[in-house]
Structures are given as C-alpha cells and as structure tokens.
C-alpha cells in the first residue's frame, strides 16, 4: 500500500460553480492528505457513458465521410496529446508561443483526458517514481487494469498538484482550461451534431447525419483515443524490447508507436525524456516528431531538443 501523500493545491474561488470546476477538491485548502488507490464507483460513470456511446454507434452504418472524421479526430487529437500534453507541457522539450500553447491545449483537452496541468503534473510524478511504490499507474505495482484505467477513478488522483507545474500555472488561461476541462469535449460533441444537421441539408449524399457524427465522430474516436493513450501507461511497461537499462520496466513497442504516433518508444523516452524525439533512430517511426519538425519549419514551434550524442551510448549494465 502506498503511504499517504501530500498534494499542493492552488486556491480557487469556486462560488456556485464548484460542481462544474475540476479544482473543486482544492476549495479552502492549501494541502490535503489523500489516500491513493481507492476507486470510487461513481467515477466509472464517465467511462461507461463513453463506451456505451461507442457501442450505440454500431447501430448506425458509418459513411465514408464519417469514418474519415473518426480517423481525423483520432489522429489530430492524438497529436495534440502526445506533442503538447506530453512532450511540451510535461517535459518542455520544445518552445512555442503563448497563443499556440493554449490552442493546442484546448485541442488536447477535447480528448476528454482531463486538463493540461493535471495531465502534466501526474506525468511528472510518474517519471519520478516509475514502476516503484508511489507510481500512479504502474502495472508492476498496481496491476494492468489499474495502470490502464483504474487509477483515474481514485479520488486521490483527481486534484491537480499545482506545485508540480508552477511553470505552467503562471498562465491564467491554462489554469482556467484545467478547471473547466469538460468544455472542449462538450463543444466538440455539439459541433459534430451541428455539422451533421448542416450536411443533411447541403450535402445529403454524404450520408452523415447528426447522430452518426456524434456517435462515431465523438464517442468512437474518443474511446479509441483514450485506450490508445492509456496503453503507454500499461502495455509499454509490460511488452516490448529493452534497449537501455533504466530504473523501471519501460519497453519499446513498434505497434504501440504506430497507434500513438511515436509514444511506443517508451524505453527510449525513459532513457532521456528531455528529447523532443522518442524514436531515437531513423527506423523508429515517430510521427509526432515529424509533424513537430514541419511546424518548426513554419515557425509555429522552435528549439526542438535533440537526443544528445552520449544518450546513444550503452549504459553501464549494457556494456
């Protein structure tokens, strides 16, 4: 059992909006001691809701246009999560403008994987204790199901540790987005419904109505996106190859690298998390990195951190 831990909160004025605010736990307290690894059944309801919506989609035959929307919303939001939630907000492996960081934060938040500061704070904690007692989502410490999805249902893991992301908490727009992280996915779902009504009027030949776009475009793509992202917490610490000796059980997994746009090179990442690139070698496909390089050519991002030459050298145990 993990010992009690202290979480540092940022005080918020919640007033009557507290039930819409993801920082509700922070009300009136600077530090709250929480017992981790206690799943609350009610916290499974959002996941049940999303999966039921995805199952209901099977009652509607998806048109080619709808399937293209599923693919687009999966890969675009996967890029936002891997490039910005992970490589930018969590590890600061490149630089961008304040406007771009906010826009991609909104896009990543539409994936229904909580807010940018919450995501980054938890991921930084994971790296400090990877696969050791205290790791929030290690399959070796807490089991496969917990590492994949269960950890998100614990009250202890709901608040944002603002003390771990002070570099990000200085931006009020990011704090606001983190507090009201339900807005982007709701806006996306409503936008797809609206698009469906418009397409029924102006282009009925596409065969994509509001219900089809909602169920397939939002629910199916969001469920696939969640499980794709979650495999990095769970499966890449169990299955794959080990190139570098690290202080955890991280693995490189080619298949998971494909479905997560490069995150599957997890052993590489734990060897040197400060690199923008996670596929260290040319044959290790890392689409997130390739897209970031294109954005750097356009001046949208810059200062992409390379893999240092010494990182390619074997560690002591590998010689």
Residue 17 has pLDDT above 80, yes or no: no
Question: Residues 145-170: what's their mean pLDDT?
Answer: 91
Mean pLDDT to the nearest integer, 45-73: 96
Higher pLDDT, 13 or 86: 86
Predicted confidence at residue 250, as pLDDT, reads 95
* pLDDT for residue 27 is more than 50: no
Output the pLDDT for position 105: 98
In the predicted model, is pLDDT for residue 110 greater than 80?
yes
Among 4-8, 77-81, 97-101, 272-276, which is the least confidently predicted range?
4-8
Residue 11 clears pLDDT 60, i.e. is over it: no
pLDDT of 3 = 40
Read off the pLDDT of each residue in 31-43 and give the average, rounded to a whole number: 64
Which pLDDT tens digit goes with each residue over 143-153? 999 999 999 98
- Note the pLDDT of residue 29: 38
pLDDT of residue 266: 97
Token pair, residue 84, equals 């910005």
Tell me what pLDDT residue 6 has. 47
Q: Which range has the top average pLDDT, 18-22, 45-49, 152-156?
A: 45-49
Average pLDDT, integer, range 128-145: 91
Determine the length of the chain: 319
Per-residue pLDDT band for 37 (boundaries 50, 70, 90) equals low
Range name among 103-112, 136-145, 224-233, 257-266 with the lowest pLDDT average: 136-145
pLDDT, residue 31, reads 43
Residue 120 or 17, more confident: 120
The pair of three-digit structure tokens given for residue 73, joined into one six-digit string: 């919303």
Domain locations along the chain: 5-318
Q: Is the pLDDT of residue 43 over 60?
A: yes
Q: What's the chain's average pLDDT?
A: 89
**The pLDDT of residue 278:** 97
What is the tens place of the pLDDT at every residue in 173-214? Answer: 999 999 999 999 999 999 999 999 999 999 999 999 999 999
The pLDDT assigned to 8 comes to 52
Rounded mean pLDDT of 121-127? 94
Lowest mean per-residue pLDDT among 138-152, 192-206, 212-226, 304-318:
304-318
């Amino acid at each position: 059992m993990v010992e009690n831990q202290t979480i540092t909160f940022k005080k918020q004025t919640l007033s009557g909006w507290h039930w819409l605010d993801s920082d509700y736990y922070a009300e009136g307290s600077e530090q709250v001691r929480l017992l981790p690894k206690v799943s609350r059944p009610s916290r499974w309801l959002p996941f049940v809701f999303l999966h039921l919506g995805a199952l209901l989609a099977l009652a509607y035959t998806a048109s080619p246009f709808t399937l293209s929307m599923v693919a687009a919303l999966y890969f675009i939001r996967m890029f936002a999560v891997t490039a910005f939630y992970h490589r930018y907000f969590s590890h600061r492996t490149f630089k961008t403008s304040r406007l771009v960081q906010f826009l991609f934060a909104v896009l990543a938040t539409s994936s229904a994987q909580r807010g940018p500061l919450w995501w980054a704070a938890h991921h930084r904690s994971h790296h400090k204790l990877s696969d050791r007692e205290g790791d929030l989502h290690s399959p070796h410490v807490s089991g496969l199901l917990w590492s994949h999805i269960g950890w998100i249902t614990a009250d202890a893991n709901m608040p944002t540790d603002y003390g771990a992301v002070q570099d990000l908490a200085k931006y009020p727009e990011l704090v606001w987005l983190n507090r009201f992280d339900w807005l982007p996915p709701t806006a996306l779902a409503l936008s797809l419904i609206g698009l469906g009504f418009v397409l029924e009027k102006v282009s009925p030949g596409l065969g994509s109505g509001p219900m089809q776009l909602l169920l397939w475009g939002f629910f199916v793509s969001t469920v696939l996106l969640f499980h794709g992202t979650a495999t990095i917490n769970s499966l890449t610490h169990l299955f794959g190859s080990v190139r570098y000796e690290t202080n955890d059980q991280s693995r490189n997994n080619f298949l998971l690298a494909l479905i997560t746009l490069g995150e599957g090179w997890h052993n590489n990442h734990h060897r040197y998390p400060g690199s923008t690139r996670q596929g260290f070698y040319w044959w290790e496909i890392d689409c997130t990195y390739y897209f970031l390089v294109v954005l750097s050519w356009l001046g949208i991002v810059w200062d992409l951190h390379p893999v240092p030459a010494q990182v390619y050298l074997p560690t002591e145990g590998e010689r």
